[in-house]
Amino acid sequence: MPDDATGRPAVRAVVFDLDGVIVDSFDVMRRAFQTAYAEVMGDGPAPFEEYSRHLGRYFPDIMRIMGLPPEIEEPFVRESYRLAGEVTVFEGVGPLLAGLRRRGLRLAVATGKSGPRARSLLAVLGIAGYFEHVIGSDEVARPKPAPDIVERALALLGARPDEAVMVGDAVTDLHSARAAGVGAIAALWGESDPAPLLAERPDAVLHRPADLLGLLTPPRPPVRT
């Protein structure tokens, strides 16, 4: 019998995007991109506004889409590590993660970052322990919007697609979630323009982290016989 009113089993696993959902890294990304662009391309304004429209994708894919040289990645990654201490966790995310873990949900991160950089950042911020697995785009065959990274997270968490949701702030997150067969949830507390996300008709929309606790039905206790 289904565990909630939607006809789906109760959610057992939550897969999160990282930037714009768990952490507020927008300013750090902007500064890292500007520095890297100047080092490789020389004088002239860095096209960060265009770059930001592709957030959620793997950095090399963004460079390819923008027609920029892949050499920008090295100084971008260097600056991202250097500035990692200036990244902050969004208000309300800590209590959300703690609440989900108390309910027994299994948590993972599936990010456009590389795996080592994502795990390093979460460790610097002191929240790595909430997540059983942190998967980067360099650790799957096809990054978002392909389903590979979400499917990898589900396999590691031991959850079926109908027992999981993904929370993201980019259209690529929603596409990846749907391609993997999991619930696609849009997070609107970051810097992303909400219009493209809402146009995708996500399965749910969160305006603040605590909304996710209200959305997910706690698993029913076992029936005693």
Domain extent listing, the chain? 13-24+87-215, 26-86
Is the pLDDT at 218 greater than 70, yes or no?
Answer: no
Fold of 13-24+87-215: Rossmann fold (3.40.50)
Digit-coded pLDDT (tens) for 64-76: 999 999 999 999 9
Instruction: List pLDDT tens digits, range 80-95.
Output: 999 999 999 999 999 9
Question: pTM for this structure?
Answer: 0.89
pLDDT tens digits, 141-183: 999 999 999 999 999 999 999 999 999 999 999 999 999 999 9
Residue positions annotated with a catalytic role: 17
Q: Given the structure tokens 């005693």, which residue do they identify?
A: 224
Mind listing the pLDDT tens digit for each residue in 3-24? Answer: 544 455 789 999 999 999 999 9
- DSSP-assigned letters across all residues of 132-171: SEEEEGGGSSS-TTSSHHHHHHHHHHT--GGGEEEEESSH
Tell me whether strands 106-111 and 133-136 are parallel, antiparallel or unpaired.
parallel
